[in-house]
Amino acid sequence: MELNAATKKRLRARAHPLKPVVMIGQHGYSAAVAAAIDEALGDHELIKVRLRGIEREQRGPVVSEICRDLDAALVGLVGAVATLFRPLPDKHK
Protein backbone atom coordinates (compact mmCIF):
# COMPACT_ATOMS: atom_id res chain seq x y z
CA MET A 1 0.00 0.00 0.00
CA GLU A 2 1.37 3.37 -1.02
CA LEU A 3 0.35 6.73 0.36
CA ASN A 4 0.90 10.09 -1.31
CA ALA A 5 2.79 12.88 0.45
CA ALA A 6 -0.31 14.84 1.48
CA THR A 7 -1.93 11.77 3.04
CA LYS A 8 1.27 10.91 4.92
CA LYS A 9 1.44 14.47 6.25
CA ARG A 10 -2.15 14.30 7.56
CA LEU A 11 -1.53 10.88 9.13
CA ARG A 12 1.71 12.06 10.79
CA ALA A 13 -0.23 14.95 12.33
CA ARG A 14 -2.91 12.53 13.59
CA ALA A 15 -0.26 10.18 14.98
CA HIS A 16 1.78 12.83 16.80
CA PRO A 17 0.10 12.43 20.23
CA LEU A 18 -0.05 8.62 20.02
CA LYS A 19 2.11 6.38 22.16
CA PRO A 20 3.62 3.14 20.78
CA VAL A 21 1.17 0.26 21.23
CA VAL A 22 3.54 -2.55 20.18
CA MET A 23 7.19 -2.91 21.13
CA ILE A 24 9.64 -5.12 19.30
CA GLY A 25 12.26 -6.28 21.79
CA GLN A 26 15.48 -8.22 21.80
CA HIS A 27 13.99 -11.23 19.97
CA GLY A 28 13.09 -9.07 16.97
CA TYR A 29 10.18 -9.36 14.58
CA SER A 30 8.35 -12.67 15.01
CA ALA A 31 4.96 -14.23 14.32
CA ALA A 32 3.73 -13.15 17.77
CA VAL A 33 4.79 -9.55 17.13
CA ALA A 34 3.13 -9.65 13.69
CA ALA A 35 -0.11 -10.87 15.31
CA ALA A 36 0.02 -8.06 17.88
CA ILE A 37 0.62 -5.43 15.20
CA ASP A 38 -2.15 -6.90 13.03
CA GLU A 39 -4.61 -6.78 15.95
CA ALA A 40 -3.62 -3.19 16.82
CA LEU A 41 -4.04 -2.07 13.20
CA GLY A 42 -7.45 -3.77 13.11
CA ASP A 43 -8.50 -1.90 16.23
CA HIS A 44 -6.94 1.53 15.63
CA GLU A 45 -6.00 1.91 11.93
CA LEU A 46 -3.03 4.17 12.82
CA ILE A 47 -0.43 2.96 15.32
CA LYS A 48 3.13 3.45 16.47
CA VAL A 49 5.57 0.56 16.93
CA ARG A 50 8.76 0.90 18.98
CA LEU A 51 11.74 -0.99 17.54
CA ARG A 52 13.88 -1.47 20.63
CA GLY A 53 16.08 -4.48 19.94
CA ILE A 54 16.85 -3.60 16.33
CA GLU A 55 19.99 -1.81 15.16
CA ARG A 56 19.60 1.43 13.19
CA GLU A 57 20.65 -0.12 9.85
CA GLN A 58 18.10 -2.93 10.23
CA ARG A 59 15.05 -0.80 11.12
CA GLY A 60 14.13 0.09 7.54
CA PRO A 61 14.19 -3.50 6.25
CA VAL A 62 12.26 -4.77 9.30
CA VAL A 63 9.56 -2.10 8.89
CA SER A 64 9.34 -2.91 5.16
CA GLU A 65 8.83 -6.58 6.03
CA ILE A 66 6.11 -5.70 8.55
CA CYS A 67 4.30 -3.53 5.99
CA ARG A 68 4.56 -6.24 3.33
CA ASP A 69 3.35 -9.00 5.69
CA LEU A 70 0.40 -7.02 7.08
CA ASP A 71 -0.58 -4.95 4.00
CA ALA A 72 0.12 -1.73 5.90
CA ALA A 73 1.76 1.53 4.89
CA LEU A 74 4.70 3.22 6.57
CA VAL A 75 3.74 6.78 7.49
CA GLY A 76 7.05 7.63 9.13
CA LEU A 77 10.10 6.22 10.88
CA VAL A 78 11.62 8.55 13.47
CA GLY A 79 14.43 7.07 15.52
CA ALA A 80 13.19 3.74 16.83
CA VAL A 81 9.48 4.47 16.36
CA ALA A 82 7.60 3.53 13.19
CA THR A 83 4.13 4.87 12.43
CA LEU A 84 1.99 2.42 10.46
CA PHE A 85 -1.39 2.81 8.78
CA ARG A 86 -3.89 0.32 7.43
CA PRO A 87 -7.43 1.51 6.71
CA LEU A 88 -10.18 -0.19 8.66
CA PRO A 89 -12.41 -2.44 6.56
CA ASP A 90 -15.65 -0.78 5.49
CA LYS A 91 -18.35 -1.93 7.92
CA HIS A 92 -21.13 -1.31 5.37
CA LYS A 93 -20.06 -4.16 3.09
Q: Which domain holds residue 55?
A: 5-85
Does residue 17 form part of some domain? yes
- Residue 38 burial (C-beta neighbours within 10 Å; 0-12, 13-18, 19+): middle
Q: In angstroms, what CA-CA distances link 26 with 51, 84, 86?
A: 9, 21, 26
Tell me what pLDDT residue 91 has: 58
CB of 22 closer than 8 Å to CB of 49: yes
Band of residue 92 on the pLDDT scale cut at 50, 70, 90: very low
Domain containing residue 63: CATH number: 3.30.110.60
Does residue 64 form part of some domain? yes
When divided into structural domains, the chain yields a total of 1
Does residue 91 form part of some domain? no
Q: What is the pTM of this model?
A: 0.91
CB of 4 closer than 8 Å to CB of 33: no
